[in-house]
Chains A and B, each alone.
Chain A
Amino acid sequence: MSVDHATVRKIASLARIAVSDAEVEAMVPELNAILGFVEQLGEVDTSAIQPMTAVIPNTLRLREDVVTDGNIRDAVLANAPAAEHGFFGVPKVIE
């Protein structure tokens, strides 16, 4: 499988990364080289193999259903590029 200019634009849009025409031009061969490299996995017979889900056997723990933190609004907002009135600020999304 390989990607063309339109596909690269589509991926960039899904990934929310703005790309210029020149960047798309450069990315097409780069991504195709990497995809060409990983293509070799297709030759491995995995018909009887379950995909790995946990690298070291482990069980998900449960904890008591209690509040363990909170009341840290100012700390949560401390690094926001735009925080107003105790909220994150974003550009207007409704006309």
Chain B
Amino acid sequence: MTNLTELGVAALRDGFRAGDFSAREVADAFNANVAAAKALNAFIVETPDHALQAAEQADRDRSEGNLKPLSGVPIGMKDLFATKNVQTTAASHILEGFKPQYESTVSGKLWSAGAGMLGKLNLDQFAMGSSNETSYFGNVISPWRRPNDTAPLAPGGSSGGSSAAIAARLCPAATGTDTGGSIRQPAAFTGISGIKPTYGRCSRWGVVAFASSLDQAGPMANDVRDCAIMLENMAGFDPKDSTSLELAVPNWEAALSADLKGKKIGIPKEYRVDNMPAEIDALWEQGIQWLKDAGAEIVNVSLPHTKYALAAYYIIAPAEASSNLARYDGVRYGLRNLPDGAGLQDMYAATRAAGFGPEVKRRIMIGTYVLSAGFYDAYYTQAQKVRALIARDFERAFEQCDLLLTPTAPSAAFALGEKNADPLEMYLNDVFTVPTSLAGLPAMSVPGGVDAQGLPLGLQIIGRALDEQGVLNAGLAIEERAGFTARAGKWW
């Protein structure tokens, strides 16, 4: 019999519909893989019963001829999405034990589509990080290792539980969120695919807020088709999110095509950064050849303000975070730290000191500073102006081309502990993904190959606003040509 955990979303859905196996068998198989992979620390909470209940419902629905888009498919849920009566922490001590009394729009849509939940996936605390080293619940360990070396590697961040779990076949797909690269960089580090759709496609309602003008949910999965299926069932207008786009959800899966005839692909010269490993440059060149082979025409373009994107991001994102995270006060939910004899103000300060991790505190402090009286214009207003210039760069580039191709990250996965001495060095990981986030554009990472140590490397495709289809299609063209089959050897 087929090893069910080797199958992706499309294969599980189609095999279940064809009667090759029951949803219960699928849920059992993935639940077993989750239970056997504690060493990866990918989950904060495991929810085998949720997966089983959805599976039993799917089996009943099938016998009644009532199939839903994701009937028979269990998934992982990043622990940034509020799930009713299931602990939701954003990987922070300050939310430990918090059981939402409501369901996020995105997770609710997935359950309505028939999916079941295997568990809540670990992440960087409040999605602030690029390596999963800021979680209160411990580091996620990548299933990948360097040859003859047991040093634990980073699964990327912030959606590192999602990326590790998919790469280790603990779930066929998972939700992620992307504020500055948190879907794409972990996908690249673990040899899987992930797409951040246009800002506003997926509702932010019920997603623990980090930086509201940047936060966007999206799927992570083994391949491009699975991402398209997941995204169709996550996206859609939601009146409860004021920035939700009032647009119909396209049939992305049905329109998938790897034929890029007539498409122009822009190569932004500013992404050739100093000290980029030769292997990444070579993979980028290979990607260009693959897209040419798919029928696309290559053009050189310029995004002149790229070098300022990280600096703008590290003003805007902390500023919004300092405001969003003001809600954690020890009064309404989550942790309360009340020293003897303390008043209300002391309780706030003690609660937040005990509840937030160092990186979260650092960003709240930066955000508070750049928004404080006397500094607001010099930092925040200037950053929002530079952001407008970065968005204009993309608009101008898209007058010459339909899509952009770049590497996803400036390196392969690094070892845990290797980069966390200097926050700035960690921030540089997002150099290729942050500009797209600032401009709200759709972008995806697909695996392109491996480096000399056998670790995965990703290529990023960026599209015009609302052109997820173009992004997915170019991703598919690369996927078909890259023939990426490398897998992490099982050690856990």
Identify the A interface with B (CB < 8 A): 1, 3, 7-8, 11-19, 27, 30-31, 33-35, 37-42, 44, 46, 49-56, 58, 60-61, 63, 72, 75-76, 78-82, 88, 90-93
Contacts and interface: CB of A to CB of B under 8 A. Distances in A.
Contact of A38 (B98, B311, B322, B333): B311
Interface in B372-405: 372, 375, 378-379, 381-389, 391
A11 B368 contact: yes
Shortest 5 CB-CB distances between A and B: which pairs? A55-B440, A51-B384, A81-B336, A79-B333, A46-B385
Interface of B: 97-102, 198-200, 213-214, 239, 242-243, 245-246, 305, 308, 310-312, 314-315, 322, 326, 329-336, 338, 342-350, 352-353, 356, 361-362, 364-366, 368-370, 372, 375, 378-379, 381-389, 391, 422-424, 427, 438-440, 465
Contact of B369 (A3, A42, A53): A3
Contacts of A54: 243
A31 B102 CA distance: 37
B245 A58 contact: yes
Nearest to B387: A52
Given A17-B361, A18-B353, A52 B199 contact: no
Contact of B199 (A19, A44, A55, A75): A55
Given A11-B365, A80-B331, 16 more contacts: A14-B372, A16-B326, A18-B350, A33-B423, A37-B310, A42-B378, A44-B382, A44-B385, A46-B386, A49-B388, A51-B385, A56-B198, A58-B200, A61-B239, A79-B100, A93-B343
A79 B352 contact: no
A27 B362 contact: yes
Contacts of B364: 15, 17
A75 B438 CA distance: 36
Nearest to B349: A18
Nearest to B98: A79
A49 B368 contact: no
A55 to B, nearest CB: 3
A4 B129 CA distance: 26
Contacts of B348: 16
B101 A75 contact: yes
Contacts of A37: 310-311, 314, 424, 427
A51 B101 contact: no
A16 B326 CA distance: 9
B245 A56 contact: yes
Contact of B440 (A16, A33, A56): A56
B330 A81 contact: yes
A70 to B, nearest CB: 14
Contact of B382 (A11, A41, A80): A41
A79 B365 contact: no
Contacts of B314: 34, 37-38
A42 to B, nearest CB: 7
A8 B439 CA distance: 32
A58 B243 contact: yes
Contacts of B381: 51
A35 B383 CA distance: 13
A85 to B, nearest CB: 15
